[in-house]
Structures are given as C-alpha cells and as structure tokens.
A and B are shown apart, each in its own frame.
Chain A
Amino acid sequence: MTELQAGQGAQPLKVPRIDARPQRYRDVLIALVAFVLLALLPFIFGSKQLLDFVIRCAAYGLFATSLNLLVGYTGLISFGHGMFFGLGAYGFGLMMQKTGVAIPVAFVATLAMTFVVAIVIGAICVRLKEIYFAFVTLAFQMLIHSTILSWQSLTGGDQGLRGGIPRPPFLGIDLSNHLHLYITSCALLVIGLFLMRQIAQSPFGYTLRMIRDNATRASFIGIDVWRAKLVIFVLAALFAATGGMIMALFVSGAYPEFAYWTISGEGIFINMLGGVTTFLGPMVGTVLLLILNDTVTRLTEYHGIVLGVVILFFAIGLRKGLMDFVVEWFAQRRGEGRG
C-alpha cells in the first residue's frame, strides 16, 4: 500500500483559486489591453533601448512561462527546457538562411520540427521519476548543444549562425524594420501567453495539477498520467521554440549559448524569482532578471555573485517567488480587512 499512498506526504502547493467557469472573455480583454499598451509604447517613449528590452522580455518570457507549465503546473522539473529555445532559434535561422521561404512558413516549419523532436525526447523522459527526469532532460540539452558545436558545416559551430537572417517582408510586415519587429514580438508574446493561460485553465490544466499533487490517484480516476505529461511536454516545447525564434530574429542569428544548459538554468532561476504559483509569475521573473542582468553587468564584472545573492534571498529569505509573495500579502490584507 505504501506505493499507493505516495503523494500523501507531499506538502500542498498553494495554487491561486481558479474559478472553474471559463474566464475566456476576461482573458481576451486583458490580452487585448496588454497588446494595445505595448503597441503604444514606441509612440510614447521613442527609446530603442526600451523596445529592445521588451523584445528580449518576449523571447525569455515565453520560454520561462512555458517552463512553468512543466515545473509549477505538472511538477515536472526539467533542466533541459532550454534545448527547445535553442532548437527554435537554430531551426528558424537555418530555414531562413538555407531555403529562403517566407517567414510564416519557416515559423510553422520550425514548430513542426520542434514538435517531432519534443515527442521523441518527451516519450523517453516523461516516464522517469523526478530526479531522473531532470537529469535526462539535462543530458538531451547537452546532446543538442554538442551537436550544434560539432556540426560546423551546418551550424557554424561555436561561431553560431552568422551573416544575418534574411527577413523578407510578408503581408506588409517587414521584420528588418525595428518597429515591425517590436510589434510582432509583442503580438507573439501576448498570443503565446493567452494560449498558455487557456491550457492552464482548461480541464487539461486541472489534469496536470492532479498529476502534480498525486499521480497515483490520478491514474485511478482514469487519467493516463504519462500521456498527459507527454502532451504538456510537447506543448511547452512549442512555446519555448517560439521564444527562441523571437530571439533569433532579434539578434539576426543564432548562437550555441541559446542551446546551452545555462538557458535552462536561467529559466529555473526566473521561475524561482517570479514564483510558480501564479500564471504571470515567470513573466515578472523575466523582467526582473533582465533588469538585474542589464544593470548589474554595467556596474560590476562580478555579476554572478550579485545574482547568486538575489536568488539566495528569494530561496532562503522569502522561500517563494515575488508574485507568490505579493499574492499572499494581498490575500492576507483582505482577510484582515474582513476580520
């Protein structure tokens, strides 16, 4: 019986109370408002730096939020999620450089390629238990990174994809224009977040939370645990790849660092920073990390130490991410106000 009772001792993870009724209309509204605000930004502040910052936030934000679908919602701690970020960047960059197809075609083709790779890797990984899952995903990340490094004729090895990614205009959108690139990145970010939100709120999202809480019980109400894990693994990979494609467009190239394990590490870091129990936690974490990165690297060359101290503060001091902290604080205040 002990095996059957395995999820019992687990500490309950606090989850924001999510109403079961579809909140789609509210989400659509929030998404539209967010997009309009982001789109107005360049007309209010003309700063190119700010727009660059938002584009990077879009790339890393999609990546980190998709990682949270695995870590926070399903309890799958992947240390190799960055491989899909790298795959997205390289797949898209190579497709544009070698074949000269239209950008939307390359976008869809890259997603299709990621889909296939994620199914194969996922099928191997999701049956493994916690720590083995983490290690094997990390191993695959290293495998893909070394493949990129050693396949010089295709990927340019440690030099990365150089010579720029051609960006032919399509449907009146010219991604070599900075403003167009900015608006497109924002649109991808908002659409991506909206879709992930819908996944998290759907009955399938509940299935994921049940698996995280008590996988054994989940299987006894008729859920194929490994299949659900595989589905979310593949979906998360697609969003991570989209982040990678934004990054490739932004730097007009792809570099081995995009597929290195440190990207996965940063994803975990962002999730710890922002918090995994709210949907937007990783997005907040992304903004925080990028601000930290930008300011600290300007001030000192020992930025690693500063980031380390920050993460220790969150891990040991707050014991939760920033958004978890904020949400709890508000809940507490509301409780006091009522009492």
Chain B
Amino acid sequence: MLEIRGLSKSFGGVKATDNVSLDFADGSLTAVIGPNGAGKSTFFNLITGALRPDAGQILLNGVDMAGRAPPEIVRHGIGRAFQVASIFPSLTVEETMLAAVCADQRRAGVMHRCFPLAETRDRAEHAMELLGLAGKRNRTAATLSHGDQKLLDIALALVLEPKVLLLDEPTAGMGTEERWRMIDKVRELWEKQKITVVFIEHDMDIVFKIAPQIVVLCYGRILATGTPDAIRTNEAVIEAYLGSDDHAGAVA
C-alpha cells in the first residue's frame, strides 16, 4: 500500500505539488493525467526521492520515504522508468540487466558481489523475456530503437522486483501504433507481476481504455480521482481539461 499524505513542493512561488493526498492499493493500476505543467513529473520525482518534499509523507506499507535518497527508496521497493529513456548507452541489454540485479543483491553481502549467483542470471533472463528484449540481448543500449530503449528502461525498474512501479509517460515520443503496443505491454506486466503500477499518460483514449483508476492533476492539486466513467463525466475535469481548448494539445 502506497499512501501519500499532504505532499507539497514549491519552486520559488510556484506550487508544483500542493497538498496532495492519495492512496494506491496493492496491485492497482492508476493513470495520472493533467495538462502540461500540472505537476505530474514533480509528483513522481518527489515519490522517488529525486526531489525532497517541503512537507508531507510518502508511506510505503507504513514506512515514510519522504526525504530519503533515491537508492534507499529503490531498495524499499519503489522503482521508476523515465520520460526520456534513461539507460546505460555502452552496456548491452544483457549486461544492463545483470548489472542491475547485482546492484540489487548487494544486501546479500560482499561475496555475492564478487561471485554472481545463479539466481542473478535467472532474474535478468526473466526481465528480458517479460519485456521482449531477450532477442536483442547482445545489442548495446545505444543502438536500440527508441521504443526498445523505453522497454529497457522499464526492464531496469522491473528487474529489481519493485512493489510499486512508476512509469513516467511510457508512450512518450511514440507513433500511434507503437503507443498501443507499449500500453498493452504495461497492462500485461501489471497483470502478470501483480504489482502496483502508476503511469503518466497524455493520450486520453489510452487512459480511458486501460486504467481502472484515474487521477487528474491540475496546478499541482488533485482535481479529481475515480474510474474512467466518473472522470469522463466530472464537470471540473471537463471544465479544466477535456472541454477546454487545451484538449487538442493534451491529446497530441
């Protein structure tokens, strides 16, 4: 269970995240939407420790993550992928996966860092299979297509076996067809792995189709939360987002 309590962050006078409180139940799939500058990425950066919150709590199964450094938060089980695929250009897909698992196994002690476990290979293999990257294991990350780089970024988060997976626009920069393939993948991962997934998405068709639960952010505040049907008919949302002239921009 991930509980956000009164999370706030300001940059100068701008409240990028303003007293946000949310619950993400175990095994839920939630989409975060909102116009550009609504504070979606800031929200993710606060949860993962990239930014330090001014106030509020981030409770993962009752343990407060607020103000901790990213490595520590990752080790507690909150993984993330980035809007622009963040990968290791010179490592191959396989090396990336193995290295990530090894980094994760540091808790197992110094001997395991020197002598990789058999389990390491299995975990890496599993993650590559899940994301469909096994056939490209010997390609360096820099030579992968944009879509595969995004998948590799997600694989990096997933291989650590997180309890909560945050995906910052998994479909950013993709064509229509590729978007659907990516979002099917996300849904498939969510169903198979039974983890809590929260993703940011701009494409309304996608959001309404696959997300059982939607959070709408606007000016750093929660405008509405609920099922796709509830959001579609929510007047405040229509006013601020769907019905306005912004709609075209948001969908693009």
Contact = CB atoms under 8 A, between A and B. Distances in A.
B90 A14 contact: yes
B213 interface: no
A219 interface: yes
Interface in A10-26: 10-15, 17-18, 20, 22
B87 A217 contact: yes
B70 to A, nearest CB: 5
Interface string A307-325: 0000000000000000000
Contact of A17 (B70, B74, B92, B99): B92
A224 interface: yes
B150 to A, nearest CB: 13
Q: Which of B70, B79, B87 has the most CB of A within 10 A?
A: B70
Contact of B90 (A3, A12, A22, A219): A12
Contacts of A29: none
A76 B176 CA distance: 42
Contacts of A45: none
Contacts of A222: 71, 74-75, 103-104, 106, 160
Contacts of A5: 82-84, 86
B113 A217 contact: no
Given A222-B103, A222-B160, A214 B71 contact: no
A46 to B, nearest CB: 42
A220 B74 contact: yes
A1 interface: yes
Contacts of B156: 217, 221
A189 interface: no
Given A12-B142, A20-B121, A206-B98, 9 more contacts: A4-B45, A5-B82, A8-B86, A13-B89, A20-B94, A207-B99, A220-B80, A221-B79, A221-B100
Given A8-B86, A12-B142, A221 B104 contact: yes
B57 interface: no
B114 interface: yes
Given A20-B116, A206-B99, A217 B88 contact: yes
A209 B113 CA distance: 15
B116 A220 contact: no
Interface string B49-73: 0100000000000000000011100
B98 A220 contact: no
B30 interface: no
Contact of A7 (B86, B95, B105): B86
Nearest to A24: B115
B103 A220 contact: no
A209 B104 CA distance: 16
A210 B88 CA distance: 6
A204 interface: yes
A146 interface: no
19 contacts: A5-B82, A13-B89, A204-B114, A206-B98, A207-B99, A207-B103, A209-B91, A213-B90, A214-B86, A214-B88, A217-B86, A218-B103, A220-B70, A220-B71, A220-B80, A220-B86, A221-B74, A221-B157, A222-B104
Given A15-B90, A219-B70, A203 B102 contact: yes
A39 B192 CA distance: 59
B6 to A, nearest CB: 24
B225 interface: no
A216 B86 contact: yes
B28 interface: no
B140 interface: yes
Q: Which of A209, A210, A213 has the most CB of B within 10 A?
A: A210
Given A220-B80, A222-B74, A10 B102 contact: no
B16 to A, nearest CB: 12
Nearest to B102: A203
A12 B140 contact: yes
Q: Which of A206, A213, A221 has the most CB of B within 10 A?
A: A221
A3 B48 CA distance: 14
- List the 8 closest A-B pairs by CB distance, nearest first: A203-B102, A12-B89, A206-B99, A213-B88, A12-B142, A222-B74, A217-B86, A12-B90
B17 interface: no
A67 B94 CA distance: 27
A13 B113 CA distance: 24
A12 B144 CA distance: 12
Interface string B18-55: 00000000000000000000000100010010100000
A225 B87 CA distance: 16
B83 to A, nearest CB: 6
A223 interface: yes
Contacts of A15: 90-91
Contacts of A210: 88, 91, 96, 99, 103
Nearest to B89: A12
A116 B75 CA distance: 30
A8 B105 CA distance: 26
Contacts of A204: 113-114
B247 to A, nearest CB: 24
